[in-house]
Structure 1
Amino acid sequence: MTRVLGKWKLETQDDNWDEYMKTVGVGFALRQIGKRTATWEEIRQEGDDWTLNITSTFKNVNLKFQLGEEFDETTMDGRKVKSVFNVEGDKLVHYQKSGTVGQPDCVIIRERVDDNTMTATFEAIGKSIKSVRKFASA
């Protein structure tokens, strides 16, 4: 059972966030919005069914999935990817396989740090680019 279930509000992101977004193909204008947008995540589980709701002042995304099953995802910035979620230890691991030539595959690892903190580590696979966003319990 992963400990990241619950509601989370974005508190901080590291200096690599813009470079990560650029590396995965997000254009300049959307990167500027992405750096300044208030964001909340809610992660729920009901039996085998999982939901990740990402709410922001710009756009909202609702992902419904079962662990280990690939599904089509349109990311917040409009990229079309094939996604799979897995629980690895206490981490919720989100793999995104790019469908666009030149865009790297990505992995997002959500992990609870303590009772009130969750981190989401974004990595562009094969590009040596990582960014960490820190969330507080909401």
Structure 2
Amino acid sequence: MAKISGKYKYLRDDGNFGRYLRVTGLSEEHIEIGKQLCPILEFIKFGDEYTMRITSEVISKDVKFKLNEEVKGKTPSGKTIKATYSLNGDHLIQKQTLESGFTATIDHEFRDDGLTIPTNGTVAFALVNIAG
């Protein structure tokens, strides 16, 4: 089983990330900006609470959650989002619903060499483990 806690740096996007952003309701301008970013994702576990820290050139955000409990938040564009996280082996599954009713399943697949994030069944981007 791969270690969930760690820091991961953006490696590549297979082209599906822009499509995912589009269906979440982002403007074309925001989509283009989002595709240019090189985020770092850090997962921290403290007791039964996790923190997913997202850091990029334009955003720094912590998302705190407990497994199988709904959390509410805001997207970078200000839309309300509800999400539930569950753990299945090396997979942290995030099921999210936007205020528009759009739902997505984001599968954070942790491996010894990094992290891939398929969104609704297609790989949106891959990250490489930079610290552990």
* Aligned counterpart, 1:10: 10
Structure 2 matches for 1:1-138, cutoff 5 A? 3-100=3-100, 103-113=101-111, 115-123=112-120, 130-138=122-130
Contact conserved, 2:116 with 2:123, CA < 8 A, in 1?
no
So what's the TM-score if we normalise by structure 2?
Answer: 0.89
- SS of the residue corresponding to residue 20 of structure 1 reads helix
Distance (whole Å) between structure 2 residues aligned to residue 131 and residue 77 of structure 1: 23
Distance (whole Å) between structure 2 residues aligned to residue 11 and residue 77 of structure 1: 24
Shift of 1:75: 2.2
Q: What amino acid does structure 2 have at the position aligned with 1:24? A: T
Percent identity between the two aligned chains: 26
Q: What amino acid does structure 2 have at the position aligned with 1:130? A: T
Q: Which runs of 4+ in 1 moved over 4 A?
A: none
So what's the TM-score if we normalise by structure 1?
Answer: 0.86
- SS of the residue corresponding to residue 30 of structure 2 reads helix
Distance (whole Å) between structure 2 residues aligned to residue 137 and residue 34 of structure 1: 21
Kindly report the root-mean-square deviation, in angstroms, between the aligned alpha carbons of the 2 structures. Answer: 1.7
Shift of 1:3: 2.7
Distance (whole Å) between structure 2 residues aligned to residue 2 and residue 65 of structure 1: 20
Shift of 1:2: 6.1
Contact conserved, 1:4 with 1:110, CA < 8 A, in 2?
no
Unpaired segments of 5 or more residues in structure 1?
A: 124-128
